[in-house]
Chain A
Amino acid sequence: MDLKLDHHTEDRLTIVEVEGEIDVYTAPRLRELLIDLVNKGNFHLLVNMEKVDFLDSTGLGVLVGGLKRVRAHDGSLELVCTQERILKIFRITGLTKVFGIYASVEEAKEAHGRDK
């Protein structure tokens, strides 16, 4: 399955919807989108990974790269993910300590609202 990307902004939080497989072939498209969003002044990003079927270390690299970019602007990049197969790679690499990972977009929006 190819990668589908979409995004919208709600109250200063830009929600990036990702669907499909994030791997060495598709990850550059996600990287481009994250860079474009940051260049346009979107520094608080929430990446919804609930419809992601596959994620490898290339995809992790893109997310870490995005996090570095938003942090340079005092921003944030957090994730929505409940799929065990995807969470596993975050745990293996220790990145569960680096990213805020929420169970739903609503939960993340609530936390973001508290942090504002």
Chain B
Amino acid sequence: MATVELTFTALPAHVRTARLVATAIARRTGVAEALLDEVRLAVGEACSRAVEAHRVHCPGEPIRIELCDDSGRFEVTVTDSAPSDDLEQAYKDEDELPAAVNGTALASLLPADTLMSGFGIAVIAALADDVEVYPSAKGLRIRMSWPAATTGLAPA
């Protein structure tokens, strides 16, 4: 398993860098060329959402992105430090530890004032074939993955 980690200040200009790095690692990991646009867009959406949330709640805190190739999957996790109470409350059932939330279900439950944030998550849910969102008071973690060649070469 190889992991690349990237942390960046919550500035919109850095989102493009994160997209480029994610796309380059996805290509190297063996994600099919036809899926690279989806990786680029989904990672961009997750990072844009995180940047907007940090600018409101904690502009000095960095955003973290992990890119991991594991057993034939290319996995991306974007973690922010902004409280995602609105997202958490939109889905929360009980006072339990943060649980993984299906991206599509979460987007459909978002209140109207988080429309654009929900829009981004809905786009991610449509693009990645496996998405989990972990909302909590300490931040939001979005994990998404795509199939990749186990050899690191793009499948035919």
Contacts and interface: CB of A to CB of B under 8 A. Distances in A.
What band does the interface of chain A fall in when counting residues whose beta carbon is under 8 Å from B?
10 to 19
Contacts of A61: 116, 119
Contacts of B126: 92
A38 B16 CA distance: 29
B123 A23 contact: no
Given A24-B51, A24-B52, A93-B122, A56 B16 contact: no
Contacts of A54: 19, 40-41, 44
A87 to B, nearest CB: 12
Contacts, number: 49
Interface in B10-58: 12-13, 15-16, 19, 37, 40-41, 44-45, 48, 51-52
Given A21-B16, A25-B12, A85-B37, A93 B44 contact: no
Nearest to B117: A57
Contact of A93 (B48, B51, B123): B123
B122 A92 contact: yes
A58 B48 contact: yes
B35 to A, nearest CB: 12
